[in-house]
Structure 1
Amino acid sequence: MSEFREKTISGISWSVVGQVGNQVVTFVLGVILARLLSPREFGLVGMVMIFTGFAGLFSDLGLGAALVQKQDVEERHLSSVFWLNVGVGGLLAAGFAAGAPLVAEFYDEPLLTPITMVLGANFLIGGVSSVHQTLFRKKIDFKSLAVVEITTVLGSGILGALMAYTGFGVWSLVAKGLLNSALTAVFLWVMSPWTPKLMFDWDATKELMGFSLNLLGEKTINYWVRRVDDLLIGKALGSDALGLYTKSYGIMLLPTRKISGVISRVMFPSLSTIQENEERVRLVFFRMTRTIALLTFPMMLGLMAVSGSFVIGVFGDQWAGMIPLLRVFCVIGLMQSIGTLKGNLFLSQGRSDLMFRVGLFVKPILIAGIVIGLQWGVMGVAYGYSIAVFLGTYPEWRYAGQLVGFTYSDLAYDLSGIFTCAAVMGGLVYTLGLALPTEWPHWLQLLTQVPTGMVLYWALVHTFDVQAYRQTLGLLAEQWRKRMQTTASQ
């Protein structure tokens, strides 16, 4: 038990380092690019990414997650998956090179033909490094992944910013994405002790397929639910509207995906190692979920409160259309920051089949919300999607919770204290924004509201002794004592 706990804490710690570093670099470089480029250029890349993102689901056929979940992985599994990934990646790259004119014709944007052809090369690059990345995850070695992530994001981001500054326009975003994939592959190969063998065992692959194909089916449905809004907006409303929409959604995802992703990436391999102990899985899951909510709930409600000063002060007047969208997405982010974790329960318990069946029921609700909302423009899509997310939350949590013995009400009650403190803080920060002098520049309003919100939230969780806050302080104190003891003994 001690070894499991230490590996999990170490994995989370290094995942935090990687994701925080990644997030800071991504945000700073993203602001620079947003200042140098227009919503249209982000929208053009977003149009292509709808299709490349979908094809990317098939690049490893869900076999990476199957390797993590399987306890007794052998060389025949690893090498077989590697060569399958390379083959599929090559086919996808060739397919996008041939089908690029169709993408351009669909959107009536001729420039998308060369963009699609170049971005398609990412599939082949990713295919040669997928297994290496999976092995680091399986060993809960997130220190190595942190180094790779920060280095590649920084290197590719600097190239993109330099190209945007010198007038390359949309190609700066294309080059940024391509270099990120290439650097990731190079670093993973250099840092990994594993190299593939010239062997392919179809029986070994079939052993993984039962788990992976159900997961792939669920991911496919989930992907189109998440991307059908981009597809319809790009087709019906154009690249400018899509640029505003995707930028708003991306800002919402930065804190939720990075923080949830930090723990979620560690949670799946960790829970897989204790999958037979239902009570222990439940306790670990609740503790991790509380930790995430402690950070993401105030971020989402705080961002909603300062959205006006944040968008104008950081990105500039040309992005003002993001403000109402961002406010709606903050509500979605509140639910998704913990909602993304439930997949770890299905996967760690080997129930990708149940996750797929639940998705078949829930995802049409989300698609309907998007399609209905489209008739009221980009804001209608945002509202329709948020309502649908709310309606689909209960059945997903119900079946995930049944696997380890908790109900939706148990989870809601467990997180109620954190939500109340975050909501009170958000309301006070919004009121403060109304009281500030209107002649103040937006950046000064932001610098006043954000620190005030941080202090208010800390005061609330500390005063009311919120369980997640108390546990997090205890864990930090424990790790500090261990580090001091290690330093003293050296």
Structure 2
Amino acid sequence: MAWRWGTQVFAQLITWASTFAVIRILTPADYGLFAMTQAVLTALAFLNGYSFATSLIQAKEIDDRRVGQVFGMLIVAGVGLAIVQSLFAPVAAAYYGQPMVEDMLRVQAVIFLATPFIALPSALLARRIEFRNQGLVNLLCAVVGASTALILALGGSGVWALVFAPIAMAAARAIGLTISAKLLVKPVFDFRGAWDIVSFGGALTLCQFLWIVQSQSDVLIAGPAFSPGDLGIYTTSLFLVLIITGKFIPPINEVLFPALSELAKTGRPLAPFFIRTLRTVALVTAPLYIGLALTAEATVLTIAGDKWADMIPIIAGLTLAMPFFALQIVCSPATNAIGKPRIYVATSTAGAILFPAAFLIGVSSGPMGLVHAWWFTAPALLAITLALTLPAIEVRIGDLLKQLFPVAVACALMAAVVTAVKSVLPEMAAPFELAILAATGGVTYGAALWMLWPHILTETWAMLRSRKANPADVVTPA
């Protein structure tokens, strides 16, 4: 966890530095065009075969033939998707009414060709619970992507800076992971005897499809209704807000799934580790999101400038839904680890119904209508997910709420103090106001936990320092 998540933090610092610089160079319309292509790219990505590679993590035994079969499936999927996206590009351009989308999609199709050389080595390394090299490769990819985006933006390439940066990152990741995993197996295109791969991977593929419906429905629904500028304001706001859940939570899941799978294979209980994970996620994400809601104006003006000022109410509103969203994301590894992907399918189905329905209602009110949709859907989906997940891994809702209560109280105290300080601050430059409010919030939050629930901080620190954990000790009653 230290390697995978720690290197992700450093990688994101590199990416943030580049992103904030590129935002100041490009326009909202550039980001709107890019969001249109990402909706298509992501919509097809659920068929990239990544879930077939994931099946290798959960399987009790694997051999060269099994690995070769997965490699073959990934190659077939990658080549097929690249062709499909190239053929579909004119249709997407016509749907959005933006001719440039066609050329962008055809160039972006090459990303699918790199997927087999990313998914398979990632799965093999995860099965061995080896995340050091993966973390180092992520750092390399961050440098490559950030450099590509910034150089092209400074050179006047416009939206193409956003197009080529992910392609460069995919190439670097494919090369780095293939070398790290020492992937020498040949692809096998004879898929006889691979039903277990297809069945487990198929369930996860269905979940990926449902996730895409949930996560891309806002852009697909708002794309024809909004101008490129308004769509760019909303999607860029969402991108900035989702940096925490979209960049920091997935690495936790990447470690959590193989780790819980090993526990499940040996018959050890998952409940203590699951509760600790949710508490840790809340401990980190909740104060960051509440703090961002309170400092949205100073944050936007500091990192993006006045031309992005329309993002301020969007970001302030979206952050209120994100703590619920973050907790929901980390539930699926537990049920997948015990061989019950149907629970993941059920929660994914709920998300694929709730989010599009709410966005269809909210789109008529503009970007803020989509924000209001998030306020309803994120808490509702978390409630559904916990109702299905907790009984499966034998966790009582009361035990979970007891562990989350200190985080909620500390965040409330932090919000009260930051609001009070903000009300008495004289007018000053946005960066200075942001620094003062961020420092005030961080100190207040840390002090509240240290004075009222010091065991939470000491347990979290002990978990980070220790290579082994006693499941009987990971959750201390409040």
Same fold, judged at TM 0.5 (above): yes
Contact 2:406–2:453 (CA under 8 A) maintained in structure 1 = no
User: What residue identity is the alignment partner of 1:444?
Assistant: F
- Bigger share in helix: 1
- With normalisation by structure 1, the TM-score equals 0.92
Of 177, 189, 192 in structure 1, the residue corresponding to residue 181 of structure 2 is 192
Deviates more, 1:197-206 or 1:143-152: 197-206
Instruction: Point out the more displaced range, 404-413 or 60-69.
Output: 404-413
Tell me the TM-score normalized by structure 2: 0.94
404-413 or 83-92: bigger deviation: 404-413
Q: State the identity %.
A: 22
Matched, 1:73 2:59: no
8 Å Cα contact 1:290-1:468 kept in structure 2? no
Superposed counterparts of 1:21-40, under 5 Å: 21-40=10-29
Q: CA deviation at 1:306?
A: 0.7
CA-CA distance at 1:385 after TM superposition: 2.4
Partner SS, residue 242 of structure 2? helix
Counterpart CA distance in 2 for 1:149 and 1:362 is 29
Does 2:327 match 1:338?
A: yes
Comparing 33-42 with 277-286, greater Cα deviation is found at 277-286
Q: Is the Cα contact below 8 Å between 2:149 and 2:165 reproduced in 1?
A: yes
Question: C-alpha offsets along residues 313-366 of structure 1, whole Å, 9 cap, x if unaligned?
Answer: 111011111111111211221112221111112211111123213433453122
Tell me the residue number matched to 1:435. Answer: 424
Matching of residues 42-57 of structure 1 within 5 Å: 42-57=31-46
1:268 equivalent in alignment to 2:257: yes
Q: CA deviation at 1:277?
A: 6.3
Candidates 282, 291, 297, aligned match of 2:286: 297
For 1:445, which of 433, 455, 469 is the aligned residue?
Answer: 433
Q: Does 1:232 align with 2:218?
A: no
Letter in 1 for 2:106: M
How far residue 198 of structure 1 moved from its aligned partner, in angstroms, is 4.6
Provide closer, same or farther for how the CA distance between residues 275 and 160 of structure 1 changes in structure 2, counting only shifts above 3 A.
Answer: same
1:183 is aligned to 172
Confirm or deny that 1:88 pairs with 2:77: yes
Whether the 8 Å CA contact 1:35–1:316 is kept in 2: the answer is yes
Matches of residues 119-134 of structure 1 in structure 2 within 5 Å?
Answer: 119-134=108-123
Query: What residue in structure 2 maps to residue 114 of structure 1?
Result: 103
Asked whether the equivalents of residues 213 and 352 of structure 2 are also in contact (C-alpha less than 8 Å), the reply is: no
Identify which of 178, 181, 196 aligns with 1:207: 196
Query: 1:209/1:476 Cα in 2 relative to 1: closer, same or farther (>3 Å)?
Result: closer
- For 1:284-433, list aligned pairs within 5 A: 284-433=273-422
Q: Summarize deviations over 1:362-408 as a string: whole Å, max 9, x none.
A: 53122211111111111011111221222222121111111111243
1:166 alignment counterpart: 155
The answer to whether the 8 A contact 1:76-1:204 is kept is: no
2:12 and 2:142 in contact (8 A); partners too: no
2: CA distance between counterparts of 1:258 and 1:111? 28
1:300 is displaced (CA, Å) by 0.8
Rounded Cα–Cα distance in structure 2 between residues aligned with 1:256 and 1:293: 11
For structure 2, the 5+ residue unaligned runs are 468-478
For 1:362 and 1:53, locate their aligned partners in 2 and report how far apart those are by CA, in whole Å.
16
> CA separation in 2, counterparts of 1:52 and 1:466?
46
Compute the displacement of 1:163 (Å): 0.9
- Aligned partners of 1:362 and 1:229: how far apart in 2? 13
Cα-to-partner distance string for 1:255-277 (whole Å, 9 max, x where unaligned): 23333233221110000011156
Distance 1:380 1:302, change over 3 A: same
Q: 1:278 to 1:403 in 2, by over 3 A?
A: farther
Contact 1:248-1:322 at 8 Å conserved across structures: yes
Q: Give SS of 1:149's match.
A: helix
User: For residue 245 of structure 1, what is the amino acid of its counterpart?
Assistant: Y
Q: Distance in 1 between matches of 2:53 and 2:278?
A: 24
1:135 maps to 124
After superposition, what is the alpha-carbon deviation per residue over 1:164-204, rounded to whole angstroms, capped at 9, x for unaligned? Answer: 01111011111111111111111112222222225334134
Report if the CA contact (8 A) 1:398-1:407 is conserved: no
AA matched with 2:248: I
By how many angstroms is 1:34 displaced?
0.2
- In the alignment, what sits opposite 1:5? none
Aligned CA-pair RMSD = 1.8
| Unmatched 5+ stretches in structure 1 | 1-11, 480-490
Measure, in 1, the Cα distance between the counterparts of 2:192 and 2:342.
21
- State the AA in 1 paired with 2:194: T
CA shift, 1:137, in A, is 1.6
Cα deviations by residue, 1:69-104 (Å, 9 ceiling, x for unpaired) = 112122111111111111111111111112211111
2:446 matched residue in structure 1: 458
The aligned residue for residue 154 of structure 1 is 143
